Amino acid sequence: MLVAILSRLGRLVFVMFGISVVVFLIFFATPGSDPAARIAGRNASPETLAQVRQSFGLDQPLPVQYAVMMKRLFVTQDLTSFVNRGQKVVPAVIKAIPVTLSLVLGAAVLWVIGGLIVGVAAAATRGGWTDRGLMALSLVGVSMPVFWVGEVMNLLSQSRLHHTFLFSWVPPLGYKPLLTDPAGWFKALVIPWVTLAILYIGLYGRILRADLIETMQEDFVRTARAKGLPESRILLRHGVRSSLIAFVTMFGLDFGALIGGGALLTEVVFGLRGVGKLTYDALQTLDLPVILTTVLYASFFVVAANALVDALYAVIDPRVRRAG
Amino acid sequence: MPAEPLLQIRDLSVAFRTERGLVQAVEGVSLEVEAGRVLGLVGESGSGKTQTLLSILGLILDPNAVLSGSVRLDGEELVGMPNRRLRRIRGAKAAMIFQDPMTALTPVHTVGWQIVEQIRAHSSLSNRAARDKAVALLAECGIPDPARVVERYPHELSGGMRQRVVIAMAVSCEPKLIVADEPTTALDVTVQAQILALLDRLRRDHGTGIVFVTHDLGVVSEIADTVAVMYAGRIVESGPVQALFAAPRHPYTHGLFNSIPPLRGPRPARLTGIPGLPPSRGAPETGCAFAPRCAYAFAPCAARPPLAPEGAQRVACFLPGETKQGFRRAGDLAA
Amino acid sequence: MTAMPALGPLAPAAVAAEPRPLVRASGLTKRFVTGGSWFPSRRRVLTAVDDVSFAVMPGETLGLVGESGCGKSTLGRCLTRLHDLSGGRLEFDGRDIGALPMRQMRPLRAELQMVFQDPYASLNPRRRIGDLLAEPLRVHRLAASSEIEGRVAELLASVELPADFSRRYPHELSGGQRQRIGIARALALRPKLIVADEPVSALDVSVQAQIVNLFCDLRDRFNLTYVFIAHDLAVVRQISTRVAVMYLGAIVEIGDVDAIFEAPRHPYTAALLDAIPEPHLGIRKARGARLPAKEPPSPTKISAGCRFEPRCPRARDRCRTERPRLEAKDGGTLAACHFPL
């Protein structure tokens, strides 16, 4: 078991290293362009360019450049943005992480629970009205763009219905730290959570329904029926757990991507200064050091979430355990 | 003779509504199983033997299935019984064993968990007591080191061991009837021999009645007391194994025997077999379903032959008695 | 039956008059390595076929029997080089093909065909039977395009199907008809050897008899040689001239079909024969008594002694330490057993 975990961690570090090299090469070794000019931003003065070259070691061979870059990212953490003069990149990203984590974790809880309920209820009533209703609703959920849902939510909760009992509790847009103001944190995030989760509830509900219906045709389900078990128990104890592989796989991909900045639209709409918003701003000003940092950070979460999913497979399905 | 056998099926029919109209999968099947006895239900694919079996426990869940007739278990009518009450019979009074032990157990739970689940669904035993019982059952079914095996997942066991687990689960609530759908077909012959011996011991020790579906006449001779041969959804011949094996009277039964290469004695240059193909979908509207493949077919076969008593058997065939006498299998009685 | 075919280098040089075997395997071995791509210590080696030697004479049918996992299918795939060999020599028609690269194997494929249990899996569902049968003819350029139609009809006739089947799709056929197509496809290239892997085990009894008959007819008509792999011993007895019994990757007994079925020398062969239920009265055998109800031993860890020793009712100390070699026993069969029956 320990060996399996260690080998997994080893692979994780290896993949991270690979990604960092690829990202680095894309940013610093693209032929035909001067990385210094891109790091310095638009209309940079010759002095700034020289300063950039010097501080990133751009006059030295590529492996040295890579080492300098990694050192400034992870060891000294003094990577500096030249577009927003003097802004330290790493602290800015670290400050944005709790916001994104809060948003995505809360939404993930909602969409996993919601997806399970929708999927199981639809599969249990297959062909019936509940099933058809849920599938229609989930299709609506999947088709509505997140930013549009967010704007409508804002319109209702911040202005149109803000004075009714429904939404009077909603605080102004923005993030409240969990540790200093737990109630404010919760209130500020409820509507972003729901907004972000709607799409995924629809998606995950549909996936689970399809897999569950397939599982319910399996021989072992027939065995469970022949044992005289109630249909609800067959569905929940024999069906659902055997149908979660696709669900969990998708979750790993989506969760990693969202934490890594994929929740950009939601963050922008609700004025949350998370990693997505940071990337968004950096893209608008072509702030290379920030983009590089957030891309690396995002890839870390995608890889980590996948490792988590692999561990979850083993929990869900004993057949995976021995394969290691 | 007891007033009523353990299982009594009368005029059972199963049909499926399809785009091409009603397809008759099982038609007018009547069977009986006494306590402690084994009925071998023989047929090829599409003969309706599995549907007959599933309908005993009300396990045909297709909403397009139309069921009629009567299935009485221990004096209780099962056809038309509400699902809630049927559930209390399934797994308790009547248990089922399926063909493929590789897929018949839920992969994500230990085998102990699955046996305990069944025991507790039908009794008020504590978790602990049910677990002890599961271990005892596994031991009775010939599993070495049962206390360890209860903790194992199905994929960690071989096919033969899994089938023993399935059987242990089936007998966990001391059922009066076991219905088994080709329980040894997916197993190797040496393992099959062990499983047949196990089933034989269980029925002798507990007086369980068994309906044993198979396509293998060898297995029938091994385990069954009575046999019913199905073709295209109907029973074409039934009777005690002794009589039917010594002298099959239906040309189809005769053909089945002739299709099996012998394991001893001279080898025939060619197997006689049966020409043509089994009908793919249900029985024809009129006439004998076997007539198109039958070497003896004659004019009367355009009508449907009734299953009529003939010697110790019941046969659905219009052929004159002396022709059928000719199907007597030479050499068998000597062996 | 003439003298036993030579067994690779172990046997004395063949008698001058004896014809050359069509297939000669000596020390044939196939290993599968699983896991441990990072940690060699966790690598597991499964020796599916372990040092197997035998020969098949032209016109002969060698039945290959054994229980699931004994390596009979793997051996069949090694013979047709669908698997690469891990060791040993394989001769086909006098040529050493054991290490032949795939490119040089290709022309030989025509002479070495395989028939599988489920032909449906190998038949492209979107193509008509006629196209499927014409394909090998085109690939191997065995017929001019004007002749192909006639050749396809001929092939269908040889497996007793009407010519209009060439317009049908695989899903319109029954299991037996599909198997006939599978056989016709193998016949298309006029092979010398057909390796048939459980070709009748998925079929109904009555249809099975028809296909067994067909195999026999085709053998006589086209001078075919078969390696016939099956777990059903009755079918193997019907069709084979010689039989090889496999257990955990090795041949434990090989010999003339009647000798093996009447007087098996290896305890495993005897147990196998004893376990088969026969559709006859009065042959209820003392079942289950012979082999203990143990988990079958794993092919990844085989004892140094006799493979069958852990389950063998006749095992003695010698069987635990010394592996028996496949040797001639009186009665004409070769058996790998220290204490044959």
pLDDT in tens, C37-93: 556 666 778 888 999 999 999 999 999 999 888 899 999 999 999 888 999 999 999
Looking at A6-10, B52-56, B119-123, C201-205, which range is the least confident one?
A6-10
Which of B230, B262, B292 is a domain's end point? B230
**Which of B91, B103, B100, B98 minimizes the C-alpha distance to A218?**
B103
- What is the reported pLDDT for B240? 94
Give the start-end residues of each E strand in B168-294.
177-181, 209-214, 226-231, 234-240
Say whether both A208 and A275 belong to one domain.
yes
Total count of domains within chain B:
2
Say whether both B222 and B259 belong to one domain.
no
Question: Is A308 part of any domain?
Answer: no
Angle CA A218–A223–A229, to nearest 5: 115
CATH assignment of the domain containing B79:
3.40.50.300
Say whether both B172 and B320 belong to one domain.
no
In the complex, which subunits touch A with 3 or more CB pairs below 8 angstroms? B, C
Whether the CB of B242 is below 8 Å from some CB of chain C: the reply is: yes
Q: Is residue C230's pLDDT more than 90? A: yes
Q: How confident is the prediction for chain C on average, in pLDDT?
A: 85
CA distance C166 to A164: 75
Q: Choose the mutation target among B53, B99, B108, B156 for the interface with A, i.e. most A CBs under 10 Å.
A: B108
- What is the reported pLDDT for B253? 94
Cβ neighbours of residue B13 closer than 8 Å, sequence gap 6 or more: B24, B26, B27, B28, B29, B66, B67, B68, B69
CA distance B157 to B148: 12
Q: Is residue A70's pLDDT more than 90? A: no
Whether the CB of C205 is below 8 Å from some CB of chain B: the reply is: yes
Q: Is residue A204's pLDDT more than 80? A: yes
For A197, the token pair is 């989760």
Say whether both B240 and B198 belong to one domain.
no
Q: How do beta strands C61-65 and C242-247 pair? A: parallel
Higher pLDDT pick, C120 / B270: B270
Asked whether the beta carbons of residue B160 and residue C233 sit closer than 8 angstroms, the reply is no
For A213, the token pair is 């219906």
Q: How confident is the prediction for chain A on average, in pLDDT?
A: 85
Say whether both B165 and B281 belong to one domain.
no
Specify the DSSP element, H or E, that contains A60.
none
**Which of B103, B105, B96, B186 minimizes the C-alpha distance to B153?**
B105
- pLDDT for A106-162, tens place per residue? 999 999 999 999 999 999 998 889 999 999 999 999 899 888 999 998 888 888 787
- What is the reported pLDDT for B3? 66
Q: Is residue A194's pLDDT more than 90? A: yes
Cβ neighbours of residue B189 closer than 8 Å, sequence gap 6 or more: C67, C231, C233, C272, C275, C276
**Chain B residues near residue C267 by CB distance under 8 angstroms:** none
Domain boundaries, chain C: 8-111+191-335
Residue C256 phi, psi dihedral angles, 5° rounding: -60, 140
Which of B61, B96, B153 minimises the CB distance to A318? B153
Cβ neighbours of residue B271 closer than 8 Å, sequence gap 6 or more: B258, B259, B260, B261, C209, C212, C213, C238
Question: Is B189 part of any domain?
Answer: yes
Contact indicator for B12, B5 with CB cutoff of 8 Å: no
Whether the CB of C40 is below 8 Å from some CB of chain A: the reply is: no
Higher pLDDT pick, C73 / A322: C73
- What is the reported pLDDT for B255? 92
Say whether both A245 and A118 belong to one domain.
yes
Q: Is residue B299's pLDDT more than 80? A: yes
Q: Choose the mutation target among A3, A5, A321 for the interface with C, i.e. most C CBs under 10 Å.
A: A3
Q: If you average pLDDT over residues B180-208, what whole number do you get? A: 89
**Which of C241, C236, C278 minimizes the C-alpha distance to C257?**
C241
Question: Is A174 part of any domain?
Answer: yes
Say whether both A59 and A159 belong to one domain.
no
Whether the CB of B295 is below 8 Å from some CB of chain C: the reply is: no
Share of chain B above pLDDT 70, in %: 96
Say whether both A170 and A54 belong to one domain.
no
Q: How far is C80 from chain B (nearest CA, A)?
A: 26
Specify the DSSP element, H or E, that contains A194.
helix A182-215
Question: Is A312 part of any domain?
Answer: no
- What is the reported pLDDT for B283? 58
Q: Note the ipTM here.
A: 0.86
- pLDDT for C207-223, tens place per residue? 999 999 999 999 999 99
- What is the reported pLDDT for C14? 43
Say whether both B271 and B224 belong to one domain.
no
CA distance C82 to A41: 60
- What is the reported pLDDT for B331? 46
Whether the CB of C320 is below 8 Å from some CB of chain A: the reply is: no
The domain of B19 spans 7-230
Contact indicator for A181, A189 with CB cutoff of 8 Å: no
Looking at A291-300, B275-284, C115-124, C315-324, which range is the least confident one?
B275-284
Say whether both B40 and B106 belong to one domain.
yes
Looking at B43-47, B130-134, B237-241, which range is the least confident one?
B43-47
Total count of domains within chain A:
2
Question: Is B1 part of any domain?
Answer: no
Tokens 């426990």, located at residue: B57
Contact indicator for A213, A242 with CB cutoff of 8 Å: no
Q: Is residue C7's pLDDT more than 60? A: no
Question: Is B256 part of any domain?
Answer: yes
Say whether both A245 and A207 belong to one domain.
yes
Say whether both B207 and B248 belong to one domain.
no
Asked whether the beta carbons of residue A228 and residue B118 sit closer than 8 angstroms, the reply is yes
Other beta carbons less than 10 A from residue C236's beta carbon = 25
Asked whether the beta carbons of residue C38 and residue A3 sit closer than 8 angstroms, the reply is no
Question: Is A302 part of any domain?
Answer: no
Say whether both A7 and A141 belong to one domain.
no
- pLDDT for C191-212, tens place per residue? 999 999 999 988 888 899 999 9
Concatenated DSSP letters of B214-227: ES-HHHHHHH-SEE
Question: Is A156 part of any domain?
Answer: yes
Say whether both A22 and A107 belong to one domain.
no
Say whether both B226 and B238 belong to one domain.
no
Query: In angstroms, how far apart are the furthest CA atoms of chain A?
Result: 82
The domain of A31 spans 2-76
Helices C205-222 and C175-187 pack at an angle, to 10 degrees, of: 10
CATH assignment of the domain containing A183:
1.10.3720.10
- What is the reported pLDDT for C299? 66
Give the DSSP letter of residue C16. T
- What is the reported pLDDT for C8? 43
Say whether both B215 and B236 belong to one domain.
no
- pLDDT for B233-292, tens place per residue? 999 999 999 899 988 999 999 999 999 998 888 888 888 889 888 876 655 668 899 998
Which of A227, A241, A318 minimises the CB distance to B121? A227
Say whether both A102 and A137 belong to one domain.
yes
Question: Is A304 part of any domain?
Answer: no
Higher pLDDT pick, B259 / A88: B259
Say whether both A50 and A188 belong to one domain.
no
For B295, the token pair is 């070497």
Give the start-end residues of each E strand in B139-208.
177-181
Say whether both B96 and B238 belong to one domain.
no
- What is the reported pLDDT for B2? 52
Question: Is B333 part of any domain?
Answer: no
- pLDDT for B209-242, tens place per residue? 999 999 999 999 989 999 999 999 999 999 999 8
CA distance B314 to B238: 5
Say whether both A101 and A228 belong to one domain.
yes
- pLDDT for C296-332, tens place per residue? 666 666 778 898 888 888 888 999 889 999 988 877 7
**Which of C48, C27, C46, C24 minimizes the C-alpha distance to C35?**
C46
- What is the reported pLDDT for B100? 85
- What is the reported pLDDT for C104? 86
**Which of C267, C155, C165, C283 minimizes the C-alpha distance to C221?**
C155
- Would you state the CATH architecture of domain C8-111+191-335? 3-Layer(aba) Sandwich (3.40)
Say whether both B33 and B166 belong to one domain.
yes
Share of chain B above pLDDT 90, in %: 56
For C193, the token pair is 């050897």
Say whether both B80 and B11 belong to one domain.
yes
Q: If you average pLDDT over residues A259-274, what whole number do you get? A: 87
Say whether both A58 and A186 belong to one domain.
no
Q: Please, which pLDDT band fits residue C36 given cuts at 50, 70 and 90?
A: low
Which of B197, B230, B263 is a domain's end point? B230
Between the ranges A11-20, C235-244, C329-338, where is the mean pLDDT highest? C235-244
CA distance C332 to C4: 8
Asked whether the beta carbons of residue C279 and residue B190 sit closer than 8 angstroms, the reply is no
Question: Is A317 part of any domain?
Answer: no
Q: Please, which pLDDT band fits residue C252 given cuts at 50, 70 and 90?
A: very high
Q: How far is A213 from chain B (nearest CA, A)?
A: 14
In the complex, which subunits touch B with 3 or more CB pairs below 8 angstroms? A, C
**Can you name the residues that pair with B38 across neighbouring β-strands?**
B210
